[in-house]
Amino acid sequence: MRRYDTLMNPEIEGLLDTTDSKFALVVLGARRARQITSYFGQLGEGLGASVPPQITSTSSKPLSIAFEEVSVEKIVPIELPDEPEVEEVLMAEEEVTASEESGEDSPEDQDESA
C-alpha cells in the first residue's frame, strides 16, 4: 500500500491512539482549539484567564496547535463521570418529599440521630 503525504501534521491515525474514538478526538481538539482562540483573543487585555498553548508551533491555526499538543501528550482526554438521569433525580426528590409528608425519618436524619 502506498503512503501519501498529507497536509495534516501530526497524522490523524497517530492521534486516534490517544483517544477511544474519532468523536472523542474531535471533541478534545475542538475544546482545546476554543481555549487557544480565547487565549489569543484576550492577550492584550491582561486577563490571563485562559491556558496558553503548551507547545511551540509554527502553525497559526488553533486546531493544528491543539492536535500537536495532543500528539505530544500535553493535552490528554479525561473521562468525566456520568451525570444522573433527570428521571432518577426526580424520583429521588419524590421519595424525599413523600417521606417528609408521611413523617418518616429520611436516611440523613437517621444518621444525625445516631
Among 15-19, 70-74, 102-106, the least confident range: 102-106
pLDDT of residue 104: 58
Q: How far is residue 67 from each of residues 5, 18, 29, measured CA to CA in Å?
A: 17, 11, 6
Question: Distance between CA 68 and CA 111 in Å, rounded?
Answer: 52
Amino acid making up residue 90: L
Domain coordinates in residue numbering, the chain: 12-71, 82-114
Q: Chain-wide mean pLDDT for the chain?
A: 78
User: pLDDT by residue (tens digit) across 25-59?
Assistant: 999 999 999 999 888 888 777 666 777 888 888 88
Helices 22-41, 62-71: inter-axial angle, 10-degree rounding? 120
**Would the pTM of this model clear 0.95, i.e. be above it?**
no
